[in-house]
Amino acid sequence: MSDPVKVRVHGPLASLFPGFRVRLAALGYSPGTAAQQLQMLADLSGWMHARGLAIHDLSPEAVEEFFRHRRQSHRNLSTARSLDRFIEFLSDSDIERAAAAPSVLPDWEQTLVRFEQYLSRERALAPTTVENYLNQVRPFLRWRASRTNSVLGNLSVNEVTGFLLVRGGTESAGSVRVAVTALRALLKWLYLSGTINEALAEGIGPVSYSAFGALPKALPPAQVSDLISHTADSRLSSCRDRAIVVLLSRLGLRSREAAGLRLDDLNWRAGTVLVRGKGGVTEPMPLPADAGAAIAGYLEHERPAMPDRHLFLQAKAPHAPLGRSGISAVVNRLGQRAGMASPVGAHRLRHSAATGVLAAGGTLTEAAQLLRHSSPASTVIYARVDLSALRTLARPWPRVERGAPGSVIVPGRVR
């Protein structure tokens, strides 16, 4: 059945069908997909009616029991996640359901929850920073819990350094350095909260690392063009993917900045786009003609007509905003289609934009303005890829004139 209106239902959920049908249409679901969702709900309503359950009895345990029953006869829409849109609808309609039975988190997960609250409430860190810290601390707490059941009060410096040595065996020095920063913050909090009796953070030594140890991983212009050409292979989102790649490569946006763009940030008359950068700094940037044309093509031919004001939306319903990981996934997928050996993320295009400025004869100051760096030191790394400028600094290599006795060393060209 592909007509949502023709789905018939009886039982406790029948009164909710008209409103939920409207919700599915507003989320951009096709009639066929909406009909499948409604038929699943019709099955759920009939199952609830047979067991004498009302709407408020639809607890998480009841949902799991229904899907165990459903998997015996259905292969599609057979997990609790299939009900996510309907559960959101119930919540938005202020319809209460029976709460799930309280679950007891392991000690290390409870510690992680409290640490997250500390970072968010007391330190007032940005959500993305909190997420980055948790992503580094979570593996350590899980690793320690798997090795010992002792409480964190018995934590030692040797355990922390042991974990870092394990990570250092498979990860770069830069990655380990990020982990050290997060673990020091955890240890300081554990000490301040009285969980541990010693200031262990002082015992974690620095990681030998330099941002100047390697060249920025930029893509040459030919490969950037190759990425753009492969956006045509995207059946559902060719215009969107093209707009993303052109924006990233021309304006050097971070993935988070591209994901945060809103329709109201585009000033078509002035030819600018408002970019929300690090530290809450918002700056207008000139919108190149090719980037503007790519965005206009996406808005005209492909972007769903949704009330959400984010510029880039998911291609499939529900058309939620595309997050920063989704932005990077688009670039990575195009890199695979183009046959690039190593994974290509959104930040590679940021590096490509900076090196492109220098290759065209621009200065480091101009590259810093494009990347919106607050410190010139952040842009200095790109000086090492400006080969034409570096050649003017290289001194001639001395060479020996062979032949007569008393040969002398004379300057020569580098070969």
State yes or no: is 278 an active-site residue. yes
The answer to whether the beta carbons of residues 380 and 364 sit under 8 Å apart is: yes
Exposure class string for 244-265: b at 16+ Cβ within 10 A, else e:
bbbbbbbbbbbbbbbbbbeeeb
Which residue is catalytic, options 278, 316, 333, 337? 278
Cα distances from 366 to residues 72, 142, 349, in angstroms, run 63, 45, 17
- The runs of H, that is alpha helices, within 252-311 are 255-259, 289-301
Q: Tokens 């030819």 appear where? A: 271
Surface-to-core class of residue 227, CB atoms within 10 Å of its CB (0-12 exposed, 13-18 middle, 19+ buried): buried
- Other beta carbons within 10 angstroms of residue 6's beta carbon come to 10
Which residue is catalytic, options 138, 167, 276, 373? 373
Distance CA 280, CA 258 (A): 14
State yes or no: is 316 an active-site residue. no
Packing angle between helix 346-359 and helix 324-337, nearest 10 degrees?
70
State yes or no: is 242 an active-site residue. no
Which residue is catalytic, options 144, 350, 351, 372? 350
State yes or no: is 319 an active-site residue. no
Would strands 282-286 and 397-400 be described as parallel, antiparallel, or unpaired?
unpaired
Which residue is catalytic, options 250, 254, 319, 348? 254
Q: φ and ψ at 276, to 5 degrees? A: -95, 105
The answer to whether the beta carbons of residues 2 and 76 sit under 8 Å apart is: no
Exposure class string for 48-87: b at 16+ Cβ within 10 A, else e:
bbeeebebeebeeebbeebbeebeeeeeebeeeebbebbb
State yes or no: is 209 an active-site residue. no
Active site positions, annotated: 254, 278, 347, 350, 373, 382
